[in-house]
Structure 1
Amino acid sequence: MKNSILEPFIKSVENVTMCGIIVIKDGEKIAEYDWEPKMRMNQYSASKSFTSAAVGMAIKEGLINLDDKVIEYFPESIPKKIPPELESLKVKHLLTMSVGHDEAYLMGTQRPLMKEKDWVKFSLGIPFKYKPGTKFLYSNVGPYLAGMIVQRKAGCNLVDYLMPRLFEPLQTLRPTWECDPMGNTFGAGGLFLTVNDLAKFSQLYLQKGIWNGKQIIPKEWVEATAKPQISTDRDDVYSNAYSYLFWHGPNKSYRADGKYGQFGIILPEKNAVIAINAYNRDQGNILDLLWKNLYPMI
């Protein structure tokens, strides 16, 4: 399926390594194009947004609360001497990248070389630079711990938790998801899905969590996610605000965002979503071309 609205965008990305794109408007797929055959791909940090959905569901089920202290969930992993910043660290700080560290940890190039196998203990032992909630720093520690909290309270991994609540309703086959050395789902990355799966997930958020007449994700969680929760202090229009493991962008858009151009973009002003899978080092280039050559056409 190739719609004329995609032609300017397709021409503009001739030098970009694209894999597939889907555009949905008013609940209908209006455009689709594949540079490569559809397959499950690593969604990298777009995985974080699925962890966010799990947190929203767990809050609705009464398992956790945004204002809960993180140390309450991991009493066996906290340092003997608890710094005041760790004492005050709350679940909401994990979701807004405002833990209080001055360096990013558990990143893709770091994980294969780590000697520490207990990543929860490692994460809770990182020195603090700032008071939690006061400084944005993009890191995998927050979303990893958020995913671990859901797993602790639910008594199962994130895939098992999300299968009946999210993946099965969206008709997404059981996915593969990266695990830590102890077998826990790594909620900060490594979820393998197709661009179709990412498009449906994005459409679910556009529909405020409703799928086939059923409230899949709590409406209040989607509405909170759709609002910026923290400033990133960046000048880039695509990354100057962040919410609960979603980036915010132009025209009140917000998105799941993966390392090489895995995008699930929710466009409330257009009543539309765009899902992209790519393998391009310059994500911003894709977003620039999208906003210039596709957004006006929708």
Structure 2
Amino acid sequence: MSNLREAIAFAQAAESRWPHSMHMPDGQFVMTYDSGETPPDSEVLGPVTPRGRASGLVYRGGKLLAEWGDATRVDMTFSVAKSFLSLLAGVALGDGLIRSLDDRVADYALDDGFAGEQNKDITWRRLLTQTSEWQGTLFGKEDRIDHNRVVGLAVAGAPKGTRRPLRKPGSFYEYNDVRVNRLSLSLLQLFKEPLPSVLKRRIMDPIGASSGWRWDGYRNSTVAIDGKPMVSVPGGGHWGGGIVISAHDLALMGLLVAQGGMWNGMQLLPNGWTAELVKPCPVAPFYGLMWWLNADRRQFAAASQRSYYALGWGSHIVWIDPDHELVTVLRWIDRKQAPGFVERLLAAITS
């Protein structure tokens, strides 16, 4: 247990350097500052929640092994929201709202967002693997804002936000929050129900999550669905908003995925969906369906290549290691230090 305590102490000492107010001294939101954005690209559209301290949990074999910090405090979780979107896409597939991930989104006649030459061949899978190359403006944010954005192993050819020639959908990976928000809007149009409501009813309540989590939208992201106003929620907190949630509730989500979408005898996610989440994208083998893969052990050198994780800037990590039956949540850890924690955790449980 002493080695486990040392791993936890490491995680606490490696806390993110982001300000607790979530704003820099000049008042800029730390996320857009960290992204190198300037006005008007950096305009914040959703609520910003001041952050807590480092926290986390480790489950092994479905049982709580360790906990530190305030695991019940709700905090912004940034791009971990993308991994929640992928779960909702699975629910849509299971419900028959999506017939096949390889269907063209345009064929579902949701709106004119996929009507142009650049967008007409985009499939649901391409949206989920961030290879859509969708072109357009959504809620005042143009796709160009995240051109040349480096996240993961991608290499940018120019500074972030510099417009580049678009490629054929499916041929090029780019981490682009405008396109993720386009996926979220498309799922809203399928369900015809606010995504936070779908998530609560179909996933979070059945797994016993708290009532404290929320999914904030933008001040300008209300749309009409069958004549009813509904808020389209973002797939992260890039411009504010997103999923605000506790480490405890993130761990429950991780346990659901680790268990193949099964919870207390109920198949909450379609059978086989969690395996689909971790199939490598052909043009970005480090990425699945909005879940990161430990391909070639490049992210976590000490961990199995079969391990995978949800990741949000700041950093927030839900790491799943099937080889050791581990589900680990890290909140507000310096991202560069996360591999060091994983190494220490694995050493502690295998020694």
TM-score, structure 1 as length reference? 0.81
Question: Would the aligned equivalents of 2:114 and 2:122 in 1 still touch at CA under 8 Å?
Answer: no
C-alpha separation in 1, matches of 2:176 and 2:269: 25
Point out where structure 1 has 5 or more consecutive residues left out of the alignment. Answer: 107-115, 233-239
- Secondary structure class of the residue paired with 2:207: coil
Superposition RMSD in Å: 2.6
C-alpha separation in 1, matches of 2:291 and 2:72: 24
Name the residue aligned to 2:123: 90
For 1:91, the aligned partner's letter is: W
Map residues 1-298 of structure 1 onto 2, 5 A cutoff.
Answer: 4-13=2-11, 14-17=13-16, 19-34=54-69, 36=70, 38-64=72-98, 65-73=100-108, 76-78=111-113, 82-83=116-117, 85-100=118-133, 117=139, 129-174=166-211, 175-180=213-218, 181-183=220-222, 184-189=231-236, 190-232=242-284, 241-249=286-294, 250=297, 251=304, 252-278=306-332, 280=333, 282-286=334-338, 288-298=339-349
Question: Would the aligned equivalents of 1:136 and 1:230 in 2 still touch at CA under 8 Å?
Answer: no
Question: Would the aligned equivalents of 2:76 and 2:243 in 1 still touch at CA under 8 Å?
Answer: yes
- Secondary structure class of the residue paired with 2:112: coil
Q: Aligned-pair distance for 1:63? A: 0.2
Aligned residues between the structures: 269
| 1:114-146: CA deviation from partner (whole Å, max 9, x where unpaired) | xx6466xx559x986111111111111333222
For 2:312, the aligned partner's letter is: G
Superposed structure 1 runs of 4+ greater than 3 Å apart: 72-80, 116-119
- Secondary structure class of the residue paired with 1:270: coil
In structure 2, do the counterparts of structure 1 residues 230 and 45 end up closer, same or farther at CA, with 3 Å as the change threshold? farther
For 2:15, the aligned partner's letter is: V
- Secondary structure class of the residue paired with 2:214: coil
C-alpha separation in 2, matches of 1:118 and 1:152: 19
For 2:263, the aligned partner's letter is: W
C-alpha separation in 1, matches of 2:126 and 2:179: 7
Point out where structure 2 has 5 or more consecutive residues left out of the alignment. Answer: 17-52, 145-162, 223-230, 237-241, 298-303
In structure 2, do the counterparts of structure 1 residues 295 and 72 end up closer, same or farther at CA, with 3 Å as the change threshold? same
> Quick check: 92-101 or 45-54, which moved more?
92-101
Question: Would the aligned equivalents of 1:264 and 1:273 in 2 still touch at CA under 8 Å?
Answer: yes
Percent identity, please: 23
Q: Aligned-pair distance for 1:86? A: 1.1
Question: Would the aligned equivalents of 1:143 and 1:187 in 2 still touch at CA under 8 Å?
Answer: yes
TM-score, structure 2 as length reference? 0.70
Q: Aligned-pair distance for 1:186? A: 2.3
- Greater share of helix: 1
